[in-house]
Amino acid sequence: MPTKEDLDKAAEERRLLPPHKTEGITCPSEVYNLGDVVSKEELDHVWVQDWYKEAKAGNVIYVPYAPQTPAH
C-alpha cells in the first residue's frame, strides 16, 4: 500500500502546472518561464504596445474587466 508521501508525490507530478522555481526567487516574474505558461503563438495575439506606451509615460493602465455572473 502506498504511503501518504508516495500519494502526495504522485499527485504533485500529475498537476497541470508548468515547471516553476520556489527557491532563490526575488520577484514573481522569476517563478515561471513565460514560454512554459503561454505559447509564442498565443503571446503574439496579445496587443500590449498601447499598455507599454502608457506605462512608459507614467500613465495608469486600464485593463478590460468583465465581472463574471454567478451560475444559477
Q: Where are the domains of the chain?
A: 4-56
Model-wide pTM > 0.85: no
- Does 13 or 63 have the greater pLDDT score? 13
pLDDT of residue 19: 78
b/e map 42-68, b = 16+ CB within 10 Å: eeeeeeeeeeeeeeeeeeeeeeeeeee
Mean pLDDT rounded to a whole number for the chain: 82
pLDDT of residue 72: 57
Q: Are 22 and 30 in contact (CB under 8 A)?
A: no
pLDDT of residue 67: 64
pLDDT of residue 62: 76
Torsion of CA 6, 8, 12, 14, to 10 degrees: 70
